Amino acid sequence: MSLAFIDPMIIRSLNKSKLRKKILYLLYKMYPHGIYLSEISRRVKSDPSNVLGCLKGMNGRYNGHFSLIELGLVECVEKGGIKIYKLTDYGKKIVEILKDQDSDFIDSLRW
């Protein structure tokens, strides 16, 4: 897969939001395991409602069409009534393509 085959909606979504990128790269680091919303929020240093907006979309502020789940990059798995967010196989492939181009951005992240 090369950059030419990445859905332009994915590129647009990630370029419009540093938080979406941070979440995606965090989940890549955790792959194949998932993580709770509150833990994602703590690690990316953002409010849980903003993180949820990036993951699922939220009225007006975060367009659901550009959410990480809607784009197929992240999935939500419910275990014992608790929601765990994890990178999909497709999301992993996308990050592996983009991470070389985003090396400066990745280097700036401190988990």
Rounded to whole angstroms, how far apart are CA atoms 48 and 98? 25
Would you say 55 and 67 are in contact if contact means Cβ atoms under 8 Å apart? yes
Question: At 57, is the secondary structure helix, strand, or coil?
Answer: coil
Q: For the chain, which residues score pLDDT lower than 70? A: 1-4, 60-61, 102-111
Q: Please measure the distance between the N-terminal and C-terminal CA atoms of the chain and give it in whole angstroms.
A: 28
**Domains in the chain with CATH codes:** 8-103 (1.10.10.10)
Q: What is the pLDDT of residue 4?
A: 47
Question: For the segment 53-80, what is each residue's pLDDT rounded down to a tens digit?
Answer: 999 988 766 777 889 999 999 999 998 8
